[in-house]
Amino acid sequence: MYSEEHVQFLKKIKLHKFLVLLAQFLTLIIFLTIWELLSKYEIINPFLYSSPIKAVQTISQLFQSNDLINHIYVTSYETVISFILASIIGFGVSTILWWNRFIFEVIDPYLTVLNSLPKVALGPLIIIWVGATTKSIIIMALLISTFISIINIYNGFISVDSNLITLMKSMKASKLQVFYKVILPSNLHNIINAFKINISMSLIGVIMGELLVSKEGLGYLIMYGSQVFNINLVITSVILLAILSYVMYAVIVFIEKKTIKNQ
């Protein structure tokens, strides 16, 4: 049984969470209402800035033409594949770099250069080498997300308390045991945070790739809408992209809560 003080404390936490969610919802409603009113009374140019109602109408049109689900699916599929590959590569390479300090010292400057290099500059080369296909989009996303993932996870690995590692070594633990018993458990939050960044970077990379080569996906809709000067389509695609991004991030947060709960 919880004490009365603890029960009151839990109620305050629940109330705080409810108020935060309520404030977030009201902020969104107020923003959409102001946007709609400004467009309706032509305080802002409705042709250039569209409106929430026009965005809903565009979504309805895309749905009726059977294009909506397909475009969302294509972008989601490419993002998930890129995220999984980047996460596996990022974790694997980070483990190798932690395991062998010499390898890290050799490739560290290359990681820095590749991470800071504007990946969109490589877009034309990727298209020439791979072709204007889904593969080139996934490669673009990997270039954007993988190096960030490697750097974040590796920095977490080397930030583990050295005293814990020394203690394990004093008990004659192998390097593999140190990794599984100390490094991984200490970096659970860091790895999940890297995944949170990774999913957003993968989505950014996919959209960049779709802007260059795709004929499907939300990035394609944005590019096509801008080419035909259909602002409603562009803004609607951006809204759908924001919703998709939030859903993907929420999935990672859900996994994080389940993982922490089961620890």
Structural domain boundaries in the chain: 1-49, 50-261
Query: pLDDT value at position 163?
Result: 87
Query: pLDDT value at position 5?
Result: 76
CA distance 164 to 170: 10
Average pLDDT per 10 consecutive residues for the chain, totaling 263 residues: 71 88 94 94 89 93 89 94 94 93 91 83 83 87 90 91 85 87 89 90 90 87 91 93 91 83 61
Residue 236, C-beta contacts closer than 8 angstroms, at least 6 positions apart: 50, 54, 55, 58, 59, 62, 221
Geometric angle at alpha carbon 260, from 257 and 263, rounded to 5°? 150
| Encoded tokens for 235 | 């803004």
**Cα distance from N-terminal residue to C-terminal residue, the chain:** 23
Residues 115, 122 contacting (CB under 8 angstroms): no
CA distance 116 to 257: 32
Q: What's 50-261's CATH class?
A: mainly alpha
Residues 81, 138 contacting (CB under 8 angstroms): yes
Residue 123, C-beta contacts closer than 8 angstroms, at least 6 positions apart: 140, 208, 209, 212
Max intra-chain CA distance, the chain: 75
Residues 187, 153 contacting (CB under 8 angstroms): yes
Exposure string for 26-60, b = 16+ CB within 10 A, e = fewer: eeeeeeeeebbeebeeeeeebeeebbbebbeebbe
CA distance 261 to 213: 42
Query: pLDDT value at position 10?
Result: 76
**Nearest residue to 239 (alpha-carbon basis) of 86, 57, 92:** 57
